[in-house]
């Protein structure tokens, strides 16, 4: 949306092709954004406001074929719709790791195991944070790196945003349930971004969130629905067992792997981590297909701030490309299939 707004402001005709009913992608799922904890919907509305009236929109779109012709691209969408464009920008984003694949953590088996996405949706709904028995959880644990830094889960990479998301969600839980105990089980805390370290400190200093360096091997359910976890307290080199009322799995970010995804349809090259391999390291927007660009989560895990910066940056690449092609017909094309 940001790139569409910037391109249309420069006078290009832009069409957004959106798979879902409405644009916004993951912003439609999140409650508040780290590290400033501003509402996700605020940013979504800001972006929608930028494109309103200036950009064509095709929603509920499923792309059936993309053809590269001499003068650009011809895209066939379901219901016999056709769109032509001189340039295409792929912003199809990422998938979230399916927590059921880490069966040993019990998601989908034990009722009191939820994911960070589930928790975010609870926050968004405004409903109270309760366990499956309808009780206020007294002790809540967050497990970092679920489906990240895990070769057995097929994702050897770090998903980057889960550490700070866990800290943000831990603070939100403590605000809603001040008397609860909140534990974060981490391998490393990767507070790489501006104000992230401050958020981590705030969680510790102001909210009393406990950080235990450990990686869970397995969770068990007690007869009362509570969860028994056994970890190694790696800084003490001792095994530790404790019960929790609610277990939140910080599910990671992974490349889109579903059959029929655009990356495979366009035969774009993937890197060893499965995300698209851009043509250039320091300008990771061009692909091997001239006129086809990519930005955002399609080239790896990114924060929203980074994605917005990429959207503005890729705009320069696209305008540069369009000015150099002879037969520019005043058509610009966007693909969003989130």
- Write out the residues near another protein by the rule CB under 8 A: 201, 204-205, 208, 210-211, 213, 230, 233, 235-236, 238-243
For residue 143, what is the enclosing H or E element? strand 139-146
Least separation in angstroms between CB 205 and another protein: 6
Q: In whole angstroms, what is the distance from residue 90 CA to residue 92 CA? A: 6
Under DSSP, the state recorded for 269 is P
> Closest CB to another protein among 241 and 258?
241
CA distance 130 to 256: 32
List phi, psi (to 5°) of 45: -65, -35
Write down the least CB distance from residue 158 to another protein, Å: 20
Respond yes or no on whether the N-terminal peptide bond of residue 35 is cis (omega within 30° of 0). Answer: yes
Q: Is the dihedral of CA 237, 243, 245, 247 positive or negative?
A: positive
Shortest distance (Å) from residue 109 CB to another protein? 22
- Least Å distance between CB 240 and another protein? 4
Q: How far is the CB of 224 from another protein (least distance, A)?
A: 13
Q: Indicate the residue among 9 and 206 with the shorter CB distance to another protein.
A: 206
322 in helix, strand or coil? helix
Q: Which is nearer to another protein, 48 or 191 (CB)?
A: 191
Handedness of CA 125, 128, 131, 133 (dihedral sign): negative
Minimum CB distance to another protein smaller for 172 or for 245: 245
Minimum distance between the CB of residue 177 and another protein, rounded to whole angstroms?
Answer: 18
Q: For residues 13 and 189, which CB has a smaller minimum distance to another protein in the complex? A: 189
Contact of 75 with 82, CB cutoff 8 Å: yes
HEC sequence for 206-268: CCCCEEEECCCCEEEECCCCCEEEEEEECCCCEEEEEEECEEEEEECEECCCCCCCHHHHCCC
User: With respect to another protein, which residue has the nearer C-beta, 237 or 272?
Assistant: 237
Shortest reach from residue 212's CB to another protein, in Å = 8
Q: State the minimum distance, in angstroms, from the CB of residue 176 to another protein.
A: 21
Shorter beta-carbon distance to another protein: residue 206 or 257: 206
Please give the Cα distance from 294 to 277 (Å, whole number): 10
The residue among 244 and 314 lying less far from another protein, judged by its C-beta, is 244
Pick 101 or 215: Cβ nearer another protein: 215
Q: What is the DSSP string of 275-295?
A: SB--S-SSSTTB-SSTTEEE-
Distances (CA, A) of 267 to 37, 89, 262, 287: 38, 15, 8, 11
Quote the least distance from Cβ 218 to another protein, whole Å: 15
């Amino acid at each position: 949306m940001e790139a569409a707004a910037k391109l249309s402001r420069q006078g290009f005709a832009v069409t957004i092709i959106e798979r879902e009913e409405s644009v916004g992608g993951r912003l439609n799922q999140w409650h508040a954004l780290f590290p400033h904890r501003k509402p996700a919907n605020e940013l979504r509305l800001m972006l929608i406001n930028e494109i309103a009236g200036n950009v064509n929109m095709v929603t509920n779109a499923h792309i059936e074929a993309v053809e590269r012709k001499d003068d650009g691209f011809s895209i066939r969408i379901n219901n016999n719709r056709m769109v032509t464009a001189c340039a295409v920008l792929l912003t199809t984003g990422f998938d979230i790791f399916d927590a059921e694949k880490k069966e040993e953590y019990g998601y989908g088996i034990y009722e009191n195991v939820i994911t960070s996405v589930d928790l975010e949706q609870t926050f968004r709904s405004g409903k109270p944070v309760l366990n499956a028995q309808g009780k206020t959880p007294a002790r809540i644990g967050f497990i970092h790196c679920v489906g990240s830094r895990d070769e057995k889960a097929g994702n050897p990479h770090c998903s980057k945003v889960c550490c700070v998301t866990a800290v943000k969600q831990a603070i939100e839980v403590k605000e809603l349930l001040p008397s609860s105990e909140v534990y974060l089980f981490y391998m490393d805390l990767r507070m790489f971004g501006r104000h992230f370290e401050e958020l981590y400190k705030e969680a510790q200093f102001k909210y009393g969130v406990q950080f235990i360096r450990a990686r869970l091997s397995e969770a068990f359910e007690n007869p009362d629905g509570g969860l028994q976890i056994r970890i190694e307290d790696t800084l003490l080199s001792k095994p530790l067992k404790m019960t929790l009322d609610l277990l939140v799995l910080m599910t990671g970010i992974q490349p889109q792997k579903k059959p029929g995804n655009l990356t495979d349809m366009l035969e774009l090259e993937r890197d060893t981590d499965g995300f698209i391999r851009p043509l250039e390291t320091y300008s990771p927007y061009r692909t091997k297909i001239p006129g086809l660009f990519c930005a955002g989560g399609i080239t790896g895990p990114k924060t929203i701030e980074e994605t917005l910066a990429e959207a503005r940056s890729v705009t320069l690449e696209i305008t540069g490309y369009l000015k150099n092609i002879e037969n520019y017909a005043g058509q610009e094309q966007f693909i969003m299939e989130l």
